[in-house]
Amino acid sequence: MTISERADELEEQLMKTLDRIPSKSALYTMGEIDPRIGMVRPPLQPGQHMLQGADPRLPAMPDKPGLLDFFHLRFRQGGVQHLLQSANLARKNGFPEKVIAACLLHDIGIVGFIQADHGYWGAQLIEPYVDEEISWAIRYHQALRFFPDESVGYAYPEQYIRLFGADYKPEPYVEAAYKEARNHKWYMTSRLICVNDLYSFDPNVEVHLEDFEDILARNFRQPEEGLGFDNSPVAHMWRTMMWPTRFL
């Protein structure tokens, strides 16, 4: 039995012990199984129903969750430390508070939602709550990271050569976004995210979220109703992070 088959067996056994069955969206398994077939769900046992609320396996969220609640209860902590180290570097380098806030939020798409095209997803998540310059910078750092800028000492990251290979070339839409950003008034804000992005982590350095709560308070407009319940164009995305295994 392969590791994957063993994991599936353990998951099936777990499902039999739950009275509310969590669901897996297509993105959870796409690439591991043929998305045209999808995941075959075992039939419901007597007394079982599909989960339509909070997953009891996850940390409970408050009724009106704020950004800090997502940092503590939903975001992947290794990724959070990356964000904190990047913001800490930007602060040490003396950059404006908008740049520090952008560094602190630039990868929330990865740590809380989805890996691919994370700059676009992350910018969309925060767009209603931050200054337009911050969300723009986060959106375009997705493309700028692949292109050096000697004027600020930004070279193509060696880590990308290890990750993608020496012959990797960004897709045409990425190059087009880079060229568009080069002529934009907020180009440097986005570029400074890349400059302060850490492509390797110092395990001897630990930065605490509390050190940046004041910056977040000034640069992120927390909705009174709570993220996910303010009827914003992205409220559904925050609800998905709260309740990722709801059936509908």
Task: Find residue 30's DSSP bridge partners.
Answer: 33
Annotate 133-158 with DSSP letters as a single string.
HHHHHHHHHHHHTTS-BGGGTB---H
Question: pTM score > 0.85 for this model?
Answer: yes
Which residue reads 């950059």 in tokens?
Answer: 95
Radius of gyration over alpha carbons of the chain, in Å? 20
Q: Where are the domains of the chain?
A: 3-50, 67-240
From residue 172, alpha-carbon distances to 178, 217, 247 in Å are: 10, 37, 36
Residue type, 52: Q
Task: Express each pLDDT in 181-213 by its tens digit.
Answer: 999 999 999 999 999 997 656 677 789 999 999
Contact, 108 vs 126, CB < 8 A? yes
Determine the pLDDT at residue 5.
58
Q: What is the pLDDT of residues 3-42, one digit of tens each?
A: 555 555 555 555 555 678 887 887 777 888 888 887 777 7
- CA dist 106 and 135 (Å) reads 9
User: Any idea which fold 67-240 has?
Assistant: Hypothetical protein af1432 (1.10.3210)
Give the Cα separation of 248 and 245 in Å (integer): 9
Token digits of residue 134: 């911050």
- Counting as low any pLDDT under 70, the low residues of the chain are 1-18, 199-202
Phi, psi values for residue 236, rounded to 5°: -65, -30
Spatial separation of the C-alpha atoms in residues 58 and 229, rounded to whole Å: 19
What SS3 class is residue 3? helix
